[in-house]
Each structure stands twice: as structure tokens, then as C-alpha cells.
Chains A and B, each alone.
Chain A
Amino acid sequence: MRKITYDQAANEAIQEEFRKNPRSVHMSTDLAADLAEEFGTDRIRVTPIAENSLVGAAIGLAGSGFRAVVNLRMATFGFVALDQMMNHAAKITYMFGGQAKFPILIRMTVGAGFSGAAEHSISPYSMFMNVPGLKILLPTTPYDVKGLLKTALGDPNPVISFEPFMLGRTETEVPEKEYFIPFGKAAVRRRGTDVTVVALGRMAHEALEAAAEVEGKISVEVIDPRTLVPLDRDSILRSVRKTGRLVVVDEACRTCSAASEIVALATSDRPTFARLRAAPAQVCGLDVPIPFSPPMEKFVIPDRAKILRAIRGAMRRPST
């Protein structure tokens, strides 16, 4: 099967869905050249750098019967558009009593690990999980980003796709035949019986490498939720009930993170709690802005070694 990059796969999703729907519009501060070539600059607009207004315009387009895609580039730039995302996109379906649909896709990159420093590196998805009305994607492979974006481009709601910056150039097999990935369905990346590792974003790859390293000694199950809203609670709980051990890995800062939400999910579910054999562990970004200098940056974000430490820690018999 052919291999394409994450970025190419995302682009293919938009191309395929834009061919089907002439009432779809793309806005980004840099021209999406190949989209513009195919669909013309009426529908594929390069915009001024005015993130808040781009999301606002997307809302107005959507409320007028169009589907709008906005590429905000980085999540840190997305913060400029928080008013339109959190006050409007998230709420208007509800606030107006469901009288109109707002099919909007907002894309932005997340994560650290490339010396982008604090204003180009962040993983803020849990902030958005706290604002009802948005659907939130966190695709981690070329195959997934294509399938999830295609589903997003058929969804009648505002969807935010957080795409790990570091994965943009990674390649995997992506079929040419059309497919969709439903929201709220986690991928079990590796089957195991001793420890459940729920790994978000780029950490899904780190967790797989960690699991491979202890193969034969510790049987690790790696779950990639793929979408945070909706979250596939059942797959996570089922796995934790089986293994009795939970490690959540998230590049975002730990405080009020998606990881802490997942731990709370497991510990507040009685049957799951009853089967826990170790305290759930979180391997998260430290609560600091992302520093520039490589040794400091490496120190504050999770990696394979930190994940391994947590896995081994979960296997240790609890002291009595």
C-alpha cells in the first residue's frame, strides 16, 4: 500500500470532501496552494492574520449554509481566536435552541519537542474539553487524520482538530479507497494484559516504543483515544478492568489535563476502581511554559524513559 505523510493525508481528506460539497470554504493565513489550484481562490481563501475574525467568519458562513474550514496553524495562534471559538462556535447551536447547524472545522497544531519555545508549543486540548459544544480530535497517524477529518467534514457541528506538530511529516500506509473513522472510537494500538497505557497525541508513538521495550516482561496495552470529545470511555474502562493498572501519558501540562480526566474516569467508576491493583499514574508535561533550550525542553515533556518508569512503577507491588 502507498505511504503518505500526515500532512498529505489531512490534505487529501479536505480535497475529497470539498469535491463533494461545493458549498465548502477554506480559510488560512497562508495560501493552501494545492487546494486553491483545484477549487479556486473563491473557496480557498488566503486571509489576513486575524485568527479571531477567521473563526468568526467561519461561524457566519456556517450559519448561512456553508461548511467552513479554518487552519489556524498553531494552537498558540488559536488562542487569539478564543472568543469566537469558546463564546460563539461552542455555544451558538445550543444558545439558539438548535435552530441552525454550524459545520465548522478548525485545525491547529499542538505539542512541543522542536525548540519552538513557549509561544509556539502547547497542548491545550483540555481547555477546550471544558467548553461544551465542541468536538475535539487528536489524530496521531496519517491514516487516522484522514479518516477523522473526513468524518469532521460531514459533521454538522464545530470540530477542532489538534494535530501534533511533530507528526506532520511522519508517513504510514493510507489506503486510496475512501474510508471514514467515527468519533468516539479509540484505537487499541497494542494488546496487553498487565498495564493499560492511554497515550494522547504524539505520546501514542512514545508509548508504543516503551511497550516494545518491555515486551516479554510486561504486557502493555496501548490505547489511543483519537478523539477527546467524544471520548471512548468504554474502551478505556474495559481495558483498565482487564489489566488493573492505568498509566496515562499526555504531553500537556498535568493540571486539569485530559490525563487527569481519564484517571478520574477510571477511579470514579466503581467496577473499574474495584479492579485497580495500583494507583493510576500520569506521565504529563511539567507545569511550566515550554522552554526553548533542548535539554530543558526534553526535561519538561514526557518521553519513552518516563513512560517506562511509570509502567514499571505500576507493576511494583504496592507497599503495605
Chain B
Amino acid sequence: MQSDDKVLIELYTTMLTIRRFEERLVREVFAGNIPGFVHSYIGQEAIAAGVCRHLTKRDRIVSHHRGHGHCIAKGADLKRMMAEIYGKKTGYCKGKGGSMHIADFSVGMLGADGIVGAGLPISTGAAFAAQLEGRGDVAAVFFGDGACNEGEFHEALNLAGIWKLPLLFVCENNQYGVNTPAAYAMAAGEISRIPKAHNIPCRVVFGNDVEEVHRVAGSAVAGIRKGGGPFFLECRTYRWHKHFLSQGLEDLRPAAELEEWKRKCPVASFEKKLRGRGVLSPAKIRTIDDRILRRVEEAHAFALRSPYPQPQDALQDIYST
């Protein structure tokens, strides 16, 4: 097997893992088995997979409310993720965070953040740390089009720009902030005009094409590691589910638009390419998928059999000692 093929299969495996994990959650949320808000990453898998493939454990990422994909792509453990989403003691945050606040500092995943745009300033600190450490590490921050209208977004771009921080901005432009179209909410029209105004190089990619994301992110990360300063990657994509998984929440996006984007499924289209090129056979795909489904099943079973925290555990971890 060529090394390129190995990378492609890894990318495919990461994307499919995210997809299967999220599909399982969709079922469980609508069955009423999971408390709170779950924001599904389905439709955007190529971005987390394509970017994180270039990052080491020492590279730090900051994620957002739709963060499961970033956790998985950065190497977080499915069991502890699932347990956290179920509010169990064995979860990453001992049940104190839930779906929106999964973090795994041991793999450089500095946490998902539930306030739109708020991860951006935090990521400048992570990049500042990498700059001071001087080992060529980078930070990456994921955020949506909605965050681009927050003041923190502009502040973070400015700070990264003046300090030449080793920071990759990854905008997952899924075109809606809840139900508000980016086309309405943003005077600049094109997101990419904003980093350019801050003198930060920018590339716009089709966010459902993992190879394109991977290729452009690769050269961006390489440039950042060499001291080239921040880079902005806008990935055009679409989420398949409502803002968060809910019977009640309205989805005001045009149905035809969603159908059109489902035909551009990042996982299916990549799978088709890999089959066409002979990188993956149907049998091999089956094997990969079975293994992933088994891992998701194990994670789910782990979450279910894990104990809830004791009520009084609520009083722990307010401060570090």
C-alpha cells in the first residue's frame, strides 16, 4: 500500500468514525435518552478529519459547541466522550460538561466552548504558548460562520496578526447561525475578506472534500510551523441536522438546499472516490465500518454501564488545588 493511500484510509476512517458516533447520538437523543443539547457534526466531518490529520498531540486545538468531530479527529477516546454526553462519572469532565464541553488536554484538545466565538481568543493564548515554547507547535481553532460576526473573532484575528501567532483559523462555514443565513448576517459578504483585512493569508476550500481540506490545511500548517504566522482556512459546508438535535426547534433552511447538500455527502463522496481509485474495496470498507460500529457500540455500552456522579460530586472541582 502506498503511503498516500494509508493517509487517505486514515482520513476516511476518521470521517466515518465521526459519522457513526454522531448517528448513534441522533438515535439516542430522539429516543429521549440524552439530557441537554447535542449539536450534530454530521455533514462537516471532512473538516475536522482533514485539518487534525496534520496535528500532533502537542499541537493544541480549541473547539466549539458542535465539537464531537474535533475531539474524535484529535484522538479523544470514544468511551469517555460518550460517557460525558450521557452525564456519567467516567466521562471526560466527570459529567460536569456534557456534549458541549468535552475536553481532553492529554491530546491537546483544549475544550469545546458553548459561547459562539469565545474559543477564538482562547486559541490565541494556546498559539502564544506555542510561540513561547518555540518547538514549532501550532494551535488550531474551529468556529462557524456565526462566530465571524462576534467581536472576539475580529480581536483574535488582530492579535494573531500583530503577534504572528502560530495559529490556524478554521472557519466551518455551514452558512447558518441557527436559522439566520450568513448571507444576511455579514456585511462583508465573503468571510475571506475579513482575514485579508487583517493581513492574514486565507484560502477558501470546499469543506466537504476531505482531500482538498487536507491538502490546503497541510501547506498552511507547514507554513505556520516554519514561523509564517497565522493562516485562515474557510471551509464551505452544511450541517445535516438542525442547530441542535431537538423535536421542538424549527429548521427554517430550505428543504431543497439540505437535499442538495446531502448529495454532496463528504463521507459518501470520498468513499466513492476511494473505491473508484481502487484504494478501498467494498469488502475493506465493510471491515472498517464494522470495526467503527463496534467501537461506537462499545463506547455506548460503556456509557450506559458507567455510574452517574453522586449528587454531592457537584461540589468538587470548582477550584484546582
Contact = CB atoms under 8 A, between A and B. Distances in A.
Do A and B interact?
yes
Contact of B129 (A61, A84, A93, A101): A61
Interface in B95-112: 95-97, 101, 103-106, 110-111
Given A64-B110, A66-B129, A83-B115, A56 B317 contact: no
Give the size range of B's interface with the partner.
35 or more
Interface string A27-46: 00000000000000011010
A135 B319 CA distance: 9
B34 interface: no
B233 interface: no
Contacts of B132: 23, 25, 42-43, 66
A193 interface: no
A213 B120 CA distance: 54
Nearest to B84: A97
B62 interface: yes
Contact of A48 (B92, B110, B158): B158
Given A50-B158, A57-B122, A88-B113, A96 B93 contact: yes
B3 interface: no
A84 to B, nearest CB: 6
B235 interface: no
B72 to A, nearest CB: 17
Contacts of A25: 128, 132
Interface string A50-66: 10111111111111111
A93 B158 contact: no
B111 A63 contact: yes
A56 B124 contact: yes
Contacts of A68: 125
A137 to B, nearest CB: 14
A95 B114 CA distance: 11
Given A87-B115, A96-B92, A52 B121 contact: yes
Interface in B145-198: 151-152, 155-156, 158-159, 162-163
A102 B103 CA distance: 14
Q: Which of B103, B115, B122, B124 has the most CB of A within 10 A?
A: B122
Nearest to A42: B132
B124 A60 contact: yes
B152 A52 contact: yes
Contacts of A96: 92-93, 96-97, 101, 103, 105, 111
A261 to B, nearest CB: 18
A265 to B, nearest CB: 19
B278 to A, nearest CB: 43
A95 B110 contact: no
B317 A94 contact: yes
A56 B122 contact: yes
A11 B287 CA distance: 63
Given A98-B320, A100-B103, A52 B155 contact: yes
A57 B105 contact: no
B103 A56 contact: no
Contact of B121 (A45, A56, A92, A95): A56
B158 A60 contact: no
Nearest to A104: B125
B94 interface: yes
Interface string A63-76: 11110100000000
Q: For B96, B103, B125, B152, which residue has the most chain A Cβ atoms within 10 angstroms?
A: B125
A54 B155 CA distance: 9
Given A95-B101, A97-B91, A53 B317 contact: no
Interface in A127-166: 132-133, 135, 156-157
A64 B126 contact: yes
A99 interface: yes
A47 interface: yes
Contact of A93 (B115, B127, B318): B318
A47 B159 contact: yes
12 contacts: A52-B121, A57-B124, A63-B125, A63-B126, A64-B126, A93-B320, A96-B103, A97-B96, A98-B317, A98-B320, A101-B320, A157-B319
Given A25-B128, A88-B122, 14 more contacts: A56-B122, A56-B125, A57-B124, A57-B159, A61-B129, A64-B110, A66-B129, A88-B113, A96-B105, A97-B91, A97-B96, A99-B105, A135-B319, A157-B319
Interface of B: 60, 62, 91-97, 101, 103-106, 110-111, 113, 115, 118, 120-130, 132, 139, 151-152, 155-156, 158-159, 162-163, 316-321
